[in-house]
Amino acid sequence: MPILGSFDTANNYDLNQVVELENIIRIVKSIKCPPNISPEKFKEYRDKTSEISRFVCSYFQQLDLSNIENIFQSTWIYFSLDILELLERFNLLRKIPDSSIKDLLDKKLVSLINILRCKGWVKKYNQVITDCMMNNKDAAEIIIKYYLVKGFAEKENIAFPKALTQEKKIEILNYYVNDSSEPHPNYLELIENAPVIQGLNIDDRMRLRAKKNKEKYWEKHSSEKPSFSYGCIASFQEIDEELNESYNEEDHHVYCVYRKKWVREHHDFPTLLNNFIFLFGFFDSELRCQFVLKKKSIIDELLAESEGIKHYPIRSQFTKNRMIYYKILSTYKEELENYGICIEDLFDYFFGDYLKENFGISDFEFKKPSKSVSLSERIKLLYIEMDGILKQLKYYIEDGRVDKELVAISSNPVRIGELKSFLKQKYAYAKGDRLKEEMRFLFSFNLLFGMNFAWSGYNSLVEIIAKEHLFITDFAEQARVWIKWLIERGALLLEADNSLGIDIDRCSLLYNLYENEVVCFAHQKGKQKEILKELVEKEEVEVESTVFSRQERDYYNFVLNKKEFSNSLDLRNTFLHGSFYGTDEELQQAYIETLKVFIMIVVKVNEEFCLKQNDKLCS
């Protein structure tokens, strides 16, 4: 504001100062009167903006544009976009020849991205900009981000010149993948996993070259690859307790030790299946699968990389959990093999005997792969059986029985989202913005910053209110508005002495929803179930009647196919079409991932029949 106060047309302003004046008056026009400025003074500033605008326009009209290079060389680099916009606004592009634009871009006096942000420049210098983008590393990375990075096109609002055809864009990407000096591995990975998109036809050959050059880059720069050393060691030993789990801070390894005697003395298949839930924690108390993708952690937010469009967002906790569950399942598989049992035996028992013994259902059929077949063939057969099981489940839920002829005549695999639950209300997801805001305030740091004293040691508003004797006045004025709103919502309470308390049932339910992004109706009890029903009536939660939750469906699609996620493992298609060419280690990883999906299916099928049979849970 002092700059406005001292404005005088007689001053000898340079271009940087003029652009700064323009930016200041733009802000003044767009804001209300700040609390530290009197309304009279602010009106005085507002009145000056018209005079300054005329001065800025006059200043630009008198600029010598015969050597535009000097203009950009003499101004601060972070003002370059402002200058481009002002030259366009004051209709001065007619004074700038094509050769000057070519020099600006060739000498990088103006960034290509800034030029593309200015539609007037792109239209006027269509061919010049197109020519400069050919065999240009910066141009390739802009094209990659525009088409392949989630949210980039909407955020940047750039325009490509009309002369830049799809063929030329592909030519630029080919240059980047093949000839560019060390293309960035993250961009190569985006090309490798690019979906089919309109306006940019990336073929399989380019994907393969991108994949190989990405691997070549990391071989050359292995010491630079961002990494954090962690791991998991799982084993069965002669210990007294069933499970001893620990974390070693020195090597950042999780150690999972299970009791050998437990497996040795419990060979019955129901117990061996229940181990996935009660011993290994593959599922929680609401039978939500735990190796699926969870919400972003604080670390993910801080270290977020650009996510590609149609990408399954592989976050830090997901990667860590995937490694842990891989180790646990691999170790369990080996331990069972010591007793002549393979994991597929458990599936065979479940569909062949368990369903009949517990629910009187003998309709399901599972053909266990022979132990003599190769591992690659076994995986292929498991995916064939998986398709069959999902079809049988679909028809049983719809018809109350499995018509084998109907299964045989159906040639298309069942989409995981098509599987409707026996329950009319199975899963609930946060829908309303008010509910999401309530959870965010309760379970994050937001309102802790509005406290009138140090809050260190606490992770959320709920935690500090539960442990400290607080009043509304302990919060800053702006935060008090939200505290009162949370009281109106029912999450916070006013105690007899006007101190703050929490509604345990509401906060417990909402914390469950906040952390897991989904809750299961059938597993809610008492007041929490009533609160959930109220949220449904108010349309603040969205209800679905499906066998699998959204997160479980996404994980299934990530492992099996590329219909939803272009960076998926695509294991089902790879093995059914005989196109797996990985190493023995990668083959083993594919086998374990396949078993994990099958285990998820078995547990969710069992849950469906349990819920159907149990009237209390279904009510």
Instruction: Give residue 544's Cα distance to chain centre.
Output: 21
Measured N-to-C along each axis, helices 204-220 and 185-192 cross at an angle, to the nearest 10 degrees, of 150
Q: Please report the pLDDT score of residue 199 as a whole number.
A: 85
| pLDDT per residue as tens digits for the range 327-371 | 999 999 999 999 999 999 999 999 999 999 999 999 999 999 998
Rounded-to-integer distance, Cα 209 and Cα 140, Å:
15
For 503, the enclosing helix (H) or strand (E) is none
- Flag the least confident range among 56-70, 205-219, 300-314: 300-314
* Cα angle for residues 267, 388, 418 (degrees, 5° grid): 110
Which residue, chain included where needed, has tokens 């809750």?
519
- DSSP, res 229: -
Q: At what angle do helices 166-178 and 126-133 cross, to 10 degrees?
A: 30
pLDDT of residue 7: 74
What is the rounded distance in angstroms from the CA atom of residue 606 to the CA atom of residue 108? 63
Alpha helices by DSSP H, 74-165: 80-89, 98-106, 112-116, 119-124, 126-133, 137-148, 152-156
Q: Is 541 helix (H, G, I), strand (E, B) or coil?
A: strand
Mean pLDDT confidence for 527-547: 96
Within 533-600, strands assigned E span 541-544
Q: Is 99 a residue whose pLDDT tops 50?
A: yes
Confidence of residue 416 (pLDDT cuts 50, 70, 90): very high
pLDDT tens-digit map of 18-48? 998 888 888 878 778 777 777 777 777 777 7
- Strand-strand pairing, 500-502 and 492-494: antiparallel
Percent of the chain with pLDDT over 90: 70
How many angstroms separate the most distant Cα atoms in the chain?
A: 96
**CB 414, CB 396: distance < 8 Å:** no
List pLDDT tens digits, range 438-470: 999 999 877 666 666 666 778 889 999 999 999
Q: Per-residue DSSP letters for 143-199?
A: HHHHHHBTTHHHHH-----TT--HHHHHHHHHHHHHTSSS--HHHHHHHHT---BTT
**Residue-level pLDDT at 401:** 93
The yes-or-no verdict on residue 55 having pLDDT over 50 is yes
| Collapsed DSSP state (helix, strand, coil) of residue 307 | coil
For residue range 212-251, what is the model confidence (pLDDT) as tens digits? 999 998 888 776 655 555 788 999 999 988 888 888 877 7
Q: Is the pLDDT of residue 181 over 90?
A: no
**pLDDT tens-digit readout, 242-262:** 888 888 877 778 999 999 999
Running DSSP on this structure, what letter comes out for residue 566? T
User: Which of 73-82, 165-174, 545-554 has the least mean pLDDT?
Assistant: 73-82
Q: Tell me the one-letter amino acid at 23.
A: N
d(CA 446, CA 423): 37
Which residue, among 380, 364, 391, 365, has the nearest Cα to 547 in the 3D structure? 391
| Mean pLDDT lowest among 211-225, 489-503, 524-538, 594-608 | 211-225
- Tell whether the model's pLDDT for residue 316 goes beyond 70: yes
pLDDT higher than 60, residue 1 = no
Q: Which residues of 519-529 are buried (b: 16+ CB within 10 A; e: fewer)?
A: bbbbbbeeebb
Lowest mean pLDDT among 108-117, 263-272, 583-592, 608-617: 608-617
Distance of CA 465 to the CA centre of its chain: 31
pLDDT of residue 5: 62
How many of the other CB atoms lie within 10 Å of CB of 351?
Answer: 24
- Single-letter amino acid, residue 531: I
* 295-302: long-range contacts, CB 8 A cutoff, minimum separation 24: 295/515, 295/517
Note the pLDDT of residue 478. Answer: 80
Measured in degrees and rounded to the nearest 5, phi and psi for residue 617 equal: -70, -30
Q: Inform me whether the pLDDT recorded for 616 exceeds 50.
A: no
